[in-house]
Structure 1
Amino acid sequence: MMTDQNLKQAFLNSAYKVMQIEHETIAQLMASLDANFADVCTALLNCKGKVVVMGIGKSGHIGRKIAATLASTGSPAFFVHPAEASHGDLGMIGKQDVVLALSNSGESAEITTILPVIKRIGAKLISLTANPQSSLAGLSDIHLLVKSTQEACPLGLAPTASTTAALVMGDAIAIALLEARQFSAEDFAFSHPMGSLGRKLLLRVKDLMHQGDQLPLVKDNVTIADALLVVSQKSMGFVAIVDTDGKLCGIFTDGDLRRTLDKRIDIHQTLIADVMTKHSVTIAPDMLAAEALKWMEEKKINGFVVVDNSNRPIGAINLHDLLQAKVL
């Protein structure tokens, strides 16, 4: 019986062998790339419909991932289970679509059964198999050889290196198309609005700012005490001060209050205009929330007054708003 130490080493040795086999598989895949890859990318780039990905078993799991990657990087795609396709889901495929079929053997019955219908529909057929002489490869408009010389499984049974090869090829196709489409980070964010990238590239100050009755705002002729009531009520940590024309003329923050108290100024008699910070930093409503956060960090302040083109306050935003929205 193995000792704990020997068992740990056996685990590490096994992991190394698997990774080495799959590493060699990817190297072989790179060496086998040919003009067919470019043809596949061209066909998908020119597709007027959708990319329909198919696969059964482990190839199906890889196919789902490839479809998701294509869809999120600018190539509209979805996965259709080939068994369900023969029971009505073939109606999801149109003549302007491109079918991307995955099968290591190229002889998966669930796929080969529906090939005549796909051909009759008129959709272009692209296949990824390890056997260029297979039924699937022979009926395809374009065939990509995706082959591994051995599986990482010591029994040679569990799809491991072969699925890795298919996954890598799918990623290579998706990224080649992304680059050809000049797909940007902002385009990616639109497909991931709930992710951190989406929040950074889509959320703007106007989406998060306090406005209307929530805006901490006073006129320049009120006392410090009156202004402090607004600071307390609005819980923003500052108040914006406007002149008789409604234009921003200053800001009063918690820091300004501490400095005012140090000078022993009578807050019930002194006007807020006499102690406010003039020429404060402001931001526009269309600024990205992530950029506003960066400004706060650089300028070491906790909030901004949001102004329009006439320098009139229309909103306010602070560090808590940005952190709550997870703009990190």
Structure 2
Amino acid sequence: MNRRFFTRNLALGTAIPYLLNGQKSNRRHERLALLKPARLNRGDLVALITPGSYIPDAGLEKAVKNLEDLGLRVATGKNVRAKYGFVAGTDSQRLEDLHAAFANPEVKAVWCARGGYGCTRLLPYIDYHLIRKNPKVFIGYSDITALHLAFLQKTGLVGFHGPVAQSSFTPYTLEHFVAVVMEGQATHTIPLAEAYANPEDSLYKFSTLRKGRVQGELVGGNLSLLAAMAGTEFGLDARNKLIFMEDIEEKPYRVDRMLTQLRQSAHLHQAAGFALGIFAGCGPEEGDDSLTLQETIIDRLADTNVPAVYGLSFGHISHQCTLPMGVMAELDTEAQTIRLLESAVR
């Protein structure tokens, strides 16, 4: 993902207590039993936090309005207006808001106002015992992938790869968010967003890389984050999983590099199938000596010999569905759908 910033070291400041506590969780744990949060209802209190990059005033105002329009009450994190360089406050400030949201018994969901760099810095220092004791709906995408994957592996919590609070809540986005998170349908089919998108919008183009129908545990997220977590205790293990991935503004050679990294670290060749979203702005520029995005993906995934598609309606796009991490799902390349085989909430 194009961050538009150079990574630089940040002072840890008051994060030291969290660092010392976090050192207890430096080994890879076996997968815990799946932990489903209670469904979200109108009138519920939602904590709005910024665990990654800073959000400007206009974005925060839009985020609050979006949630209130859903009939939810909003409590912004104590440090939601904090800023430390390009991240939303120091590590300790962002951890404080994350922990406070899960610890508050009145809060029924924790919604990330935006994504952006910073989430991976928090992973070793999160109180996973606190989160497991207080399972709640946790929502976001992009860099929030890091938290979803860590929560699933360390606590078993089902997280929701869906719109951040400042996203554009189109009718398609709302329909599938409500069905998955608020209604908690026992099975739910997620089709393409063709009926909602402009027919001339070249983003919403579906293609089948390998035909088939397959079931598996739904796991994945943003490709850049999955690659960034490779080799850590929080890294992706694709074995027997239905892997979903998306990204934005990455040239094909960088997509190649990240998929190659995951092939060598995450057992991609043993995945059950691949459900790829929309990789907005990831094509080569005119004049580049490059494969196309689709040629790159085929080159890196074709030898897995499992069902795979590109162009499902999730990613850095307006019309995005909500995908629950950890639940059983089915990819049907002929129907061009993902079908959730169980409720993601209780």
| TM-score, shorter chain, exceeding 0.5 | no
| Higher strand proportion | 2
TM (norm. structure 2) is 0.26
Larger RCO (CA under 8 A, 6+ residues apart): 2
| Higher helix proportion | 1
